[in-house]
Amino acid sequence: MQLEQKAVVAGVVRKITLFFLLLFNLSTIDFAQLLPGNETQVNFSGYFDSFNVSVIYPSISVTKKVSESTSLTARYLVDMITAASIKNGKSNSTSTNTSLSKVDAVTAASGQTGGGEEGRIESENILPKFDEVRHEFNLGIAQLIGGGIITFDGLYSTESDYTSATIIGNFTQYFAENNTSLQLGIVRSWDKVFPKTKDWKKNKNVTTINANFTQIISKDLILQLLSTYTDNSGLLSDNYKLVPITVNGKDSLFDPIHPDLRIRRAAALSLKYRLTEKSSLQLGYRYYWDSWDVRSNTYSANYQRYLSKHVILGIGFRNNVQTQAFFFKPNYSAPEKYMTTDIKLDSGFSNELQLELILRGGDRQNFLPFLKDERVQYIFDLNFYLRHTDSPYWFNNSNKLFATNFNIGIRYRY
């Protein structure tokens, strides 16, 4: 099966490459300087949800144009997570904490270890504190070549029970007086998973191919088509999200068992339209389907408007409806070949309200002195997210997740 999938991936890569090379030869090169410019960006972001998960993730990113045709980017991000997954073991369910499998999570509970963010319930008398810290490093280079740009990024992430190394390559080609662009990208990740409650280390490999197309239709309308093909293999479950099963009248927690291969596909259409001189509307639709029978339709709309010359307000709405994975069940009466109670694999829907305020520096900012410098931009994001699943999560008997996500960012372009 895996050989067949690899052959399919190789075939897709070959065909898309040929297609891209064909268009490259047909291109009319009138190339603008589209390299990322010098910029430093600092973001302070946070996430809080009704499952008692809190994440604070500050990041800093620096982009430097080192020549007319090359720019470099470095980024560092740190995730500080409270209510990490191992608290799952301190369940407030009716489990007797007896395991028939090799799972030891229930008795190995330790507030200072773990991984993952979702489905974690803090036990009583445990004060919020950072249980997990993840560091992410990213180095990238963008290079002009012919009528396009090649970018290459290397990313490394490490935490106490998970490491990931990722390389990302993209090639963007511009055509037709820069009215058309085609982007072909590949992402490859090598992840290692070693839960604190286990004595093994397993691999997860992800290969993603992206093909994106952007077209300027008129001076007021831009269209974008995006597509993604992802091959996931290896350990694809979160081994902190245990499965409760009653065997011989005794409640036990088992490891989740997911198929070790998942082919994920997504195609999206996005339109950006200028409504007036001071406002624009972006509409988006995405269809997603995968080999685990998850299907999803995602709709989004984002309205942006200048409140003044230097202030932009954005209001967005996003809706996602999905079906469940073929092996998902809210509860199991006996161990099965595949089993999971991972609630994000359940059917359901989510809604998100996005608010954004951008303050751009410039002259005539006497009332806000810190905005006098036109190279500075302040960004404030606030998102409200609600996810409703058709089944309640066994751990807290809730089928609703409320989350708030914020970001405060400063961009300095020079």
Partner 1 sequence: MRIRILLWLCTVSLLYGCATVKPWEKEGLADPIMIIDENPINTGIKEHFLDYREGAVGATGAESGGCGCG
In the range 217-236, which residues lie near partner 1 by CB under 8 A? 217-220, 222-228, 230
173 near partner 1, judged by CB under 8 A: no
Binding mask 195-214 for partner 1 (x = CB under 8 A): ---------x-x-x--xxxx
Collapsed DSSP state (helix, strand, coil) of residue 210: strand
Collapsed DSSP state (helix, strand, coil) of residue 12: helix
Token pair listed for 349: 């829907």
Window contacting partner 1 (CB under 8 A); options: 121-129, 329-337, 362-370, 404-412: 404-412
Please identify, using beta-carbon distances, which residue of 57 and 97 lies nearer to partner 1: 57
Give the CA dihedral 46, 341, 83, 126, nearest 10 degrees.
140
Q: Which of residues 175, 393, 394, 395 is near partner 1 by CB under 8 A?
A: 175
Of 206, 238, 28, 228, whose CA–CA distance to 114 is shortest? 238
Number of residues that bind partner 1 (CB under 8 A): 114
399 near partner 1, judged by CB under 8 A: no
365 near partner 1, judged by CB under 8 A: no
In the range 68-127, which residues lie near partner 1 by CB under 8 A? 75, 79, 115-118
Report the distance separating Cα 215 and Cα 210, nearest Å.
17
> Nearest distance from residue 166's CB to partner 1, in Å?
4
172 near partner 1, judged by CB under 8 A: no
Please identify, using beta-carbon distances, which residue of 97 and 314 lies nearer to partner 1: 314
> Nearest distance from residue 211's CB to partner 1, in Å?
7
Q: Which of residues 82, 245, 381, 395 is near partner 1 by CB under 8 A?
A: 381
Please identify, using beta-carbon distances, which residue of 95 and 237 lies nearer to partner 1: 237
Q: Which of residues 71, 91, 173, 189 is near partner 1 by CB under 8 A?
A: 189
Window contacting partner 1 (CB under 8 A); options: 103-111, 141-149, 152-160, 244-252: 152-160
340 near partner 1, judged by CB under 8 A: no
Residue 99 corresponds to which amino acid? S
Report the distance separating Cα 284 and Cα 197, nearest Å.
42
In the range 18-77, which residues lie near partner 1 by CB under 8 A? 19, 23, 30, 41, 43, 45, 47, 55, 57, 59, 61, 75
Collapsed DSSP state (helix, strand, coil) of residue 36: coil
DSSP for 304-356, written as a single string: EEEEETTEEEEEEEEEEEEPPPTTB-S-BSS--SSBB--GGGSSEEEEEEEEE
Report the distance separating Cα 389 and Cα 401, nearest Å.
9
Burial track 279-306 (b if 16+ CB lie within 10 A, e otherwise): ebebebebebebbbebebebebebebeb
In the range 252-281, which residues lie near partner 1 by CB under 8 A? 264-268, 270, 272, 274, 277-280
Give the CA dihedral 230, 236, 238, 244, nearest 10 degrees.
130
Q: Which of residues 105, 242, 257, 325 is near partner 1 by CB under 8 A?
A: 325
